[in-house]
Amino acid sequence: MPTSALHVARTGLEAQDTRMRVIANNLANIGTTGFKRDRANFETLAYQDARVAGARSTNETAYAVGLNLGNGVGVQGTSRIETQGTLSTTGNAFDLALDGPGLFQIELPGGQQGYTRAGNFTLSADGQLVTAQGYVVQPAIQVPQGAQSITVAPDGTVSATLPGDAAPAELGQLTIASFPNPAGLQAIGDNYLVETAASGAAEIGPGGDNGRGSIRQGMLEASNVNVVEELVEMIEAQRAYEINSKMISSVDEMLRNANQTL
């Protein structure tokens, strides 16, 4: 019990340290296509009841107030902030950006479904639309050899002019996935997210339909990290860390004093 103030302050240091890590990750990913910033959420830890309000103080009377001491703070989790990133024109036919909510579907190795906002796609050696890692964008689009002027419509329809054919031919349609709780998706790195019990099941449909974002060809979505906001948060976390470390040295001073004086 006498050292518990030390441990309470320690929870503060740990929480701010985690927050700093989240901020550092946001800043590190400022140039990552389709990256969504995270926010660390804090919660108070359970209180410890040294004396319950309402407990008997004498035979006739009860304590009107209790002595509830807090145990500090904990990091509850991080939530992804899903605001739209800035769209920038690249002119590359296979750069696709989503304007509005939704995610592209990717088949990860092993057949698992992955989801991403990073639309910097490319063609594989055998003409399939793939991500930078070479994972196939779903539904798979096969671009025949020598296809010219490939266009992706806002609803995901991919068409191209094939050699010896004046009219453009439809190659397939990309669909967009949306989730009941997109913040519940789990980030697995490489810009990919996977479904969890918290996110709910994916609802698949064409772009621009039922509130889904529409596809913008020749554009990429930048990260939604705001440098100024992150820097302000960083300073705030640093100061909060400092005052918690001051608390540790203050309690240490008390205990040292008790040890030396007594």
Computed from CA positions of residues 39, 40, 46, 50, in that sequence, does the dihedral angle turn out positive or negative?
negative
CB atoms within 10 A of CB 94: 19
> Are 90 and 220 contacting, i.e. CB atoms less than 8 angstroms apart?
yes
Residues 218-257 that bind another protein (CB under 8 A): 236-237, 239-240, 243-244, 246-247, 250-251, 253-254, 257
Closest approach of Cβ 220 to another protein, in Å? 22
* HSE (side-chain half, CA atoms, 13 Å) at 142: 2
Give the interface size with another protein as a residue count (CB under 8 A). 68
Closer CB to another protein, 165 or 246, in the complex: 246
DSSP state letters, 162-192: PTT-SS-EEEEE--EEE-S-GGGPEEEETTE
Amino acid at 256: R
100 DSSP 8-state letter? S
Structure tokens at 38: 């995270």
Among 104, 115, 179, 192, binds another protein (CB under 8 A): 179
Instruction: Say how many residues make up the chain.
Output: 262
Residue 151 sits at the vertex; the CA angle it makes with 150 and 157, to the nearest 5 degrees, is: 120
The interface region with another protein, picked from 75-83, 113-121, 148-156, 214-222 by CB under 8 A, is: 75-83
Amino acid at 98: L
15 contributes a contact to another protein by CB under 8 A: yes
The interface region with another protein, picked from 72-80, 132-140, 150-158, 167-175 by CB under 8 A, is: 72-80
Closer CB to another protein, 131 or 244, in the complex: 244
The interface region with another protein, picked from 68-76, 89-97, 117-125, 127-135 by CB under 8 A, is: 68-76
The interface region with another protein, picked from 22-30, 150-158, 164-172, 196-204 by CB under 8 A, is: 196-204
CB atoms within 10 A of CB 89: 11
154 contributes a contact to another protein by CB under 8 A: no
The interface region with another protein, picked from 41-49, 85-93, 119-127, 157-165 by CB under 8 A, is: 41-49
Closer CB to another protein, 93 or 194, in the complex: 194
Closest approach of Cβ 260 to another protein, in Å? 9
Residues 103-142 that bind another protein (CB under 8 A): none
* Phi (first) and psi of residue 197, to 5 degrees: -65, -30
Amino acid at 61: T
Burial class (CB in 10 A: 0-12, 13-18, 19+), 171: buried
As a whole number of angstroms, the distance between CA 46 and CA 77 comes to 16
Closest approach of Cβ 107 to another protein, in Å? 23
Which residue's structure tokens are 């309402």?
54
What does the binding site for another protein look like in residue numbers (CB under 8 A)? 1-2, 4-6, 8-9, 11-12, 15-16, 19, 41-44, 46-51, 53-54, 63, 65-73, 76, 79, 81, 83, 178-181, 183-184, 197-200, 203, 210-212, 236-237, 239-240, 243-244, 246-247, 250-251, 253-254, 257-258, 261-262
